[in-house]
Structure 1
Amino acid sequence: MLSYLHAFHAGNFADVQKHGALLLALRMMQAKDSAIACFDTHAGSALYRLDSDQAQKTDEARRGIQALWPDRQQLLSGDWKAFMAQLERFNGSRAALSHYGGSPAWMAALKRPQDTVTAFELHPTETGKLSDWAATVGIQVRHQDGLRGLLKALPPSAPRLLVLTDPSYEIKTEYRDVAETVIKAWQRCRHGVFLVWYPILPKQDHHRLFSALTASEVTKVLRSELTLAETPDRGMSGSGMLVINPPWGFEERFRAMMSEAGTADRLNATHQLDWLVPE
């Protein structure tokens, strides 16, 4: 499990979907002034260089964020404009897109004084990088298993909760572990907003996640799946997100975002949005 490094995959089409959903959900929650406790169970590093040897080896960003970047002025959705504006801030005065934010960086970028961000990471190298960065932005980093750490931290002192969980799923039991953790977390904080990412692979192991959630008491589970038009020889053919307790109006706004991003001249993917579990 500790062999996975997101630097090889930063900015790919799955990140576009994942971080688009994360940013939209958090911005919508912040329409109210009350504090939000944000948790990232598998944080990785905060910022990734798209020109690094690791990123260049897989070149996954080319079919992801780099496919959208040239059209950032033409993207019609106000929600994409907010996403791209933050991405520009990650890159500072650089003309080219060379830096991409990991999920803790997106959370920290939107953090208000009353909000908190807690990032869990097990990989020792990633934790070191994350801790160095976190000291400059005022978020908490915990070097421990994020699923166990999340349950120990619930319920939070803040009145509202946002959780992102996106393991690598290198170990098949992670589908079960994620489902069990999310169910327990929901039971402790039924008002919380939970975002769960999963890969779409040939073996369709993500259906284990579906089965566990649909058999539980959890309600209001929105499912987003982004499927590539051209299936790669190996790896993911698509990317999925489950959003439990999405903010009111999230469904329509996220549908518009992904429809705009998935066009043939951008991500070249199709997007489907439905309710895995209705209210």
Structure 2
Amino acid sequence: MFSYLHAFHAGNLADVHKHLGLFLALSLMQRKETAIACFDTHAGSAVYDLNSAEARKTTESDRGIQALWQVRSKLQDPAWQDFFSIISAANGGKTALQYYPGSPAWFARLRRRQDSLTTFELHPRESARLEAWGKRQAARVYVEDGFSGLLRCVPPREPRLCVLIDPPYEVKHDYRQVVDTLANAWRRCRHGVFLVWYPILRERYQDTLIRGVEKSPLQKVLRSELLFDPEPVGQGMLGSGLLVVNPPWHWEEQMNTLLSQALPLWGVGARHEQQWLIPE
């Protein structure tokens, strides 16, 4: 436990896939004025330095956000421009990218006055940085397990809910715990939008998660996968997966559209596959 540090992987292909999905979900939900309670169960340290020793050891961001950033002017869709504006803001508007926003920073940048943000992080080093960031952002930060923390907090007082569940998957039990936490949270707030990120591995540990969700009482679950070809990102990682429970209206079409525009220009040899795991 506590061996995982996201700084080694910040801004990689999987991060871009995950944060694009989160960005679309929250943006589409905000077409209605009613308040949203936002939860990040495994928040990390919020913002990452792409020039840090950890990031440069793996250089994963080079094929991820750095490569996409280089072709951003060719992606004219307004949603892409809004997506890039959040990354630009994290860098003070500078052309060169040094900082990449983690998921709590995406939530914070998109949050409206009526929305709330609650984050969880148990790792000592990550949680200390997250707490310092949270004070500046007026975000609630809990140094505790995000699985149990989420269940303690739902249903929220706000009328709507958006949750990101993204554990480090350091141990195989995480896959089963994601299923149990997701199902229990959904039972308490069936209208909530839940996003679950998972790695696609050669060992197929993700099958425990997928099969578990299929056998659960969950409804309306969309599956989005970004598959890396020919070279995996990270040892044994063949792709990035997202499950979206109750995807907002037009999320499916927009995710397909944006990635179909970007992938030919991105030059990373990835393909996007999307289907309903549990149909509407």
TM-score tier by shorter-chain length is over 0.9
Extract unaligned runs of 5+ from structure 2.
none
Matched, 1:133 2:133: yes
Contact 1:165-1:196 at 8 Å conserved across structures: yes
Q: Where does 1:1-279 land on structure 2 (aligned, <5 Å)?
A: 1-232=1-232, 234-263=235-264, 265-279=266-280
Q: What percent identity do the matched residue pairs reach?
A: 52
Contact 1:77-1:256 at 8 Å conserved across structures: no
After TM superposition, where is structure 1 displaced by more than 6 Å over at least 4 residues in a row? none
Contact 1:18-1:197 at 8 Å conserved across structures: yes
Question: Partners of 2:45 and 2:168 in 1: how far apart?
Answer: 14
Question: Partners of 1:37 and 1:205 in 2: how far apart?
Answer: 31
Question: Partners of 1:254 and 1:59 in 2: how far apart?
Answer: 26
Question: Partners of 1:35 and 1:267 in 2: how far apart?
Answer: 38
Question: Partners of 2:52 and 2:217 in 1: how far apart?
Answer: 44
Contact 2:23-2:106 at 8 Å conserved across structures: yes
The verdict on how the C-alpha distance between 1:93 and 1:214 changes in structure 2, with shifts beyond 3 A counting, is closer
Shift of 1:117: 0.4
Greater CA deviation, 261-270 or 66-75?
261-270
Letter matched to residue 74 of structure 2? Q
Question: Partners of 1:155 and 1:265 in 2: how far apart?
Answer: 40
Question: Partners of 1:113 and 1:264 in 2: how far apart?
Answer: 36
SS at match of 1:263: helix
Question: Partners of 1:101 and 1:107 in 2: how far apart?
Answer: 10
SS at match of 1:231: coil
SS at match of 1:132: helix
Shift of 1:226: 0.5
Question: Partners of 1:193 and 1:84 in 2: how far apart?
Answer: 23
Deviations 1:48-101 (A, max 9, x none): 000110000000001100110011121132211111011100000433111000
Letter matched to residue 196 of structure 1? V
Question: Partners of 1:36 and 1:93 in 2: how far apart?
Answer: 28
Shift of 1:176: 0.2
Q: What root-mean-square deviation, in Å, do the aligned CA atoms of Structure 1 and Structure 2 show?
A: 1.1
Deviations 1:99-158 (A, max 9, x none): 000000000001111100001000111111111111111111000000000001011000
Question: Partners of 2:214 and 2:18 in 1: how far apart?
Answer: 22
Question: Partners of 1:260 and 1:9 in 2: how far apart?
Answer: 24
Letter matched to residue 215 of structure 2? A
| TM-score with structure 2 setting the length | 0.97
Extract unaligned runs of 5+ from structure 1.
none
Letter matched to residue 99 of structure 1? Y
| TM-score with structure 1 setting the length | 0.97
Question: Partners of 1:181 and 1:239 in 2: how far apart?
Answer: 20
Greater CA deviation, 149-158 or 210-219?
210-219
Contact 2:71-2:265 at 8 Å conserved across structures: no
Contact 1:44-1:102 at 8 Å conserved across structures: yes
